[in-house]
Amino acid sequence: KQEVTQIPAALSVPEGENLVLNCSFTDSAIYNLQWFRQDPGKGLTSLLLIQSSQREQTSGRLNASLDKSSGRSTLYIAASQPGDSATYLCAVRLGGSEKLVFGKGTKLTVNP
């Protein structure tokens, strides 16, 4: 059974700091991994999608890496801003499945 763990559960940083969010999964037979942002009352926003054959994806100040063999992904946020405050979710899709398995998320607070 695939399990996804995100560490830390919560993180508070001053504005401008670079930070890393971690995601680990138990079954390396994934099809892809997706990072989302969840804002209260606004659902989930897709940030980055990494295919199992890829090592990383970048979008603006965000960079996500994937090490499938070790069952890990990291989301790097550069020069954090108060607007980055949200809960960040990691989800994996197993090969041959349409189901996304989510972690519980990391709640990020960026202080001005």
Partner 1 sequence: SAVISQKPSRDICQRGTSLTIQCQVDSQVTMMFWYRQQPGQSLTLIATANQGSEATYESGFVIDKFPISRPNLTFSTLTVSNMSPEDSSIYLCSVKTPGVLYNEQFFGPGTRLTVL
Does 25 bind partner 1 (CB under 8 A)? Our answer is no
Which of 18, 26, 46, 111 is the binder for partner 1 (CB under 8 A)? 46
Residues 85-104 interacting with partner 1 (rule: CB under 8 A): 89, 91, 93, 98-100, 102-104
Label residue 102 exposed, middle or buried (CB < 10 Å: 0-12, 13-18, 19+): middle
DSSP code of residue 41: T
CB of 15 to partner 1, least distance (A): 27
Query: Could you give the 3-state DSSP secondary structure of residue 84?
Result: helix
Smaller CB separation from partner 1, 80 or 88: 88
CB of 101 to partner 1, least distance (A): 8
* Count of H-run helices and E-run strands, the chain: 0, 11
Which of 18, 26, 51, 59 is the binder for partner 1 (CB under 8 A)? 51
Token reading at 3? 């399990």
Does 41 bind partner 1 (CB under 8 A)? Our answer is yes
Token reading at 8? 């830390």
CB count within 10 Å of CB 22 equals 15
User: Which residues are near partner 1 by CB under 8 A?
Assistant: 4, 32, 34, 36, 41-44, 46, 49, 51, 89, 91, 93, 98-100, 102-105
